[in-house]
Amino acid sequence: MLLNPWIYDFSAYNLWIKPLGLYYLATYLRKNGHKVSLIDCLEMDSSNANSAKAFPKTKMFGEGKFYAEEIAKPKCLEGVPKKYKRYGLPLCLLEKKLQCIEEPDFIFITSMMTYWYPGVWDAIKVLKNFFPQSTIVLGGIYATLCYEHSQNSGADIVVAGAVEDSFRYIQENILECPVKYLPNKEEPDNLPYPAFELASRTDYVPILAGRGCPFRCSYCASQILNSQFFRRTPTKVLDEIEFYLEKFGTRNFVFYDDALLYDSKGFFLPFAKMVLQRKMAINFHSPNGLHLSEINSDVAEMLFAAGFKTIRFGLETSNPQRQKESGGKVVNEQFVTAMKMLHEAGYTQEDIGVYILCGLPEQGVKEVEETIAFVQKNRAKAILAEFSPIPHTRLWKEALSHSEYDLAKEPLFQNNTLLPCASTEMRESLQRLKTISRQTPE
Ligand code: B12
């Protein structure tokens, strides 16, 4: 059995969340002859909706609010004046689902944000209670970035890193079976499709056109999670999309890539051209941010024409020195040109979301204010992203020395809601900055 646990946090929004890594793992296990079932605690399907609980409705493209219940705050977060919640299936519904399953030999559980670990730990407790004989294997982003911490999760085995890299070990040493099929990340075109037939809802489906990122930004964990950058060929990605369109009628596709537009001649432009040639009436979303430096008039036009409805970009700051020091992925001139081209292509101010990092070590309130003004002046929507310090990144050491919290010992303090590395002035200004960022000055 495979399980995507709950999110425990002060806030969470379903911006097309799906446990893509778990669906890949499901396919690899099946290709090796194992019988697999999957429970996604963040999936609100119609069978759940029939229960007494009223689930929030999803929005036009499948995104929306999670069902949530207030829960007790972990001790170290007691001072935070916000409600702490469990997002996803109510406990009773998870238990109902577990009752329908025969005790599995193995349970594989995934994890995402480092500071969401209490949801992982609690899910493991529930599973241990239900299926005391099953061996529980934990993997995913939290398990990779906080490997030592995750040893205390209650799982029997923790496996860090991409499952493609550990699959031989899993198959031979954990499942104790000979390998019939071995996934290879370095040949991404040969990877099988994730097993979305196990999902109850396929109104949106996440897509990975590549793994990793060629940039090395100081605040980002991409290079730790995927040390090399691999890209699939455009036809193969489109074939996958067409497969879901035909099989499930899926119309919303969400790119989880860290560098979708990188080398646009090599991937994005031929991909978008084929979308148009195949006359596919589908929507694309890129909530994870695109590279501004890759926007030229061709890319802007093709984004619009191919149906990219939700486009988000990572500017992070308009401060030239910080842009350079953090990795040099964009300069202000590129931003100005990119916005002009996106508008010419047909996008409106409301369509173009630009992420701004806030609460970086030693970042002043003025820098954030100036960045918001710069974004709005260029007719885009400013979206504040509170900085979450991530272990093993280039910025980590600086984050540790600029935080009053013991970030290394307790991943809960890495929560972006705490603004753990920000000055008091920044914390006090956050609400005002958020208000300014939502205004659309003419
Ligand atoms: C796509 C994405 C999102 C999406 C949703 C993702 C989802 N899964 O639903 C969106 C856009 C919503 C999002 C939002 C945010 N994100 Co985000 N996101 C990502 C991203 C780019 C990819 C994650 C992904 O799905 N990858 C694809 C799948 C295939 O990979 P995977 O799940 O890791 O699985 C692989 C391995 O982990 C492993 N594996 C997985 N499960 C298991 C299980 C077992 C048993 C085993 C053995 C192995 C294994 O094998 C898999 C295949 O190789 C990562 C960065 C990255 N490159 O990973 C950041 C990342 C996870 N996000 C991050 C952050 C900070 C955020 C935000 C807080 C940003 C902000 N400040 O607003 C928000 C908050 C989210 C919320 N809703 O509240 C950080 C994490 C920080 C942390 N402390 O943990 C990351 C690492 C990016 C970064 N900055 O470096 N995100």
Please write the tens of the pLDDT for every residue from 207-246.
999 999 999 999 999 999 999 999 999 999 999 999 999 9
Better pLDDT: 51 or 157: 157
Ligand 1 atom closest to Cα of 113?
84
Question: Across the chain, how many H-helices and E-strands are there?
Answer: 16, 16
- How many Å lie between the centroid of ligand 1 and the Cα of residue 113? 7
Residue 351: C-alpha distances to residues 140, 228, 252, 285 (Å): 32, 32, 16, 11
- The residue ranges of DSSP E strands in 198-304, in sequence order, are 204-207, 210-211, 230-231, 252-255, 283-290
Q: Which residue has the tokens 């793994």?
A: 211
Say whether 314 sits in a helix, a strand or coil.
Answer: strand
What is the Å distance from ligand 1's center to 226 Cα?
12
Q: Is the pLDDT of residue 55 over 90?
A: no
For residue 53, what pLDDT is reported?
58
Residue 20 burial (CB count, 10 A)? 18
pLDDT tens, 356-401?
999 999 999 999 999 999 999 999 999 999 999 999 999 999 999 9
pLDDT at position 44 is: 76
What's the pTM? 0.96
Q: Is the CB of 18 under 6 A from ligand 1?
A: yes
What are the structural domains of the chain?
Answer: 2-174 (3.40.50), 202-438 (3.20.20.70)
pLDDT digit string, tens, across residues 251-287: 999 999 999 999 999 999 999 999 999 999 999 999 9
Q: Is the CB of 258 under 6 A from ligand 1?
A: yes
**Phi/psi of residue 324, nearest 5 degrees:** -70, -50
| Residue entry with tokens 């005002």 | 432
pLDDT attached to residue 63: 86
**pLDDT-based confidence at 61, cuts 50/70/90?**
confident
Distance in Å, CA 231 to ligand 1 centroid: 18
Long-range contacts from 53-61, C-beta under 8 angstroms, 24+ separation = 53/90, 53/93, 58/14, 58/203, 61/16, 61/204, 61/252, 61/283, 61/285, 61/309, 61/310
Q: What pLDDT was estimated at residue 52?
A: 47
40: nearest Cα among 116, 85, 84, 93: 93
Taking CA atoms, 390 is separated from 12, 76, 258, 327, in Å, by 18, 19, 16, 16
Residue of 141, 187, 193 to mutate, ligand 1, most atoms within 8 A of C-beta: 141
Quick one: pLDDT at residue 96?
Answer: 93
What does the pLDDT look like over 80-125, one tens digit per residue? 999 999 999 999 999 999 999 999 999 999 999 999 999 999 999 9
Quickly state the pLDDT bin for 54 (edges 50, 70, 90). low
CB of 48 within 8 A of CB of 55? Answer: yes
- What is the CA(20)–ligand 1 centre distance, in A? 9
Distance CA 330, CA 260 (A): 15
Q: Determine the distance separating the centroid of ligand 1 and the alpha carbon of 112, expressed in angstroms.
A: 5
pLDDT at 51 over 60: no
Placement of tokens 């036809």 in the chain: 235
Q: How far apart are CA 23 and CA 331, in angstroms?
A: 37
Per-residue pLDDT tens over the stretch 137-192: 999 999 999 999 999 999 999 999 999 999 999 999 999 999 999 999 999 999 99
Alpha-carbon dihedral 104, 85, 435, 423, rounded to 10 degrees = -90
Res 57: pLDDT:
75
Residue 241 CB less than 6 A away from ligand 1: no
Instruction: Give the pLDDT of residue 180.
Output: 98
**What pLDDT shows up at residue 441?**
61
Return the higher-pLDDT residue of 366 and 47.
Answer: 366
**CA proximity to 372, closest of 432, 293, 310:** 432
**Which tokens sit at 245?**
């369109």
pLDDT tens by residue, 405-436: 999 999 999 999 999 999 999 999 999 999 99
SS3 313: strand
Residue 45 predicted with pLDDT over 80: no
- Residue with the smallest CA separation from ligand 1 atom 60 is 113
d(CA 342, CA 354): 12
Whole-number Å distance between alpha carbons of 341 and 343: 5
Greater confidence (53 vs 413) lies with: 413
Question: Could you tell me if the CB of 7 is within 6 A of ligand 1?
Answer: no
Map tokens 């202000």 to a residue: 332
Closest Cα to atom 1 of ligand 1: 256
In the DSSP assignment, the letter for residue 174 is I
pLDDT tops 60 at residue 50:
no
Q: Which segments of 320-403 does DSSP mark as H helices, in order? A: 320-326, 332-345, 365-377, 396-401
CA 141 centroid distance within chain:
10
Angle between helices 91-99 and 117-130 (to 10 degrees): 40
> How confident is the model at residue 100, as a pLDDT?
93
What are the start-end ranges of the H helices in 191-286? 222-225, 234-248, 268-277
Tokens (6 digits) for 9:
């946090």
Distance 441 CA to ligand 1 centre (A): 33
Name which of 326, 331, 286, 277 is nearest 305 in CA terms.
Answer: 277
Question: How far apart (Å, rounded) are the C-alpha atoms in residues 42 and 204?
Answer: 14
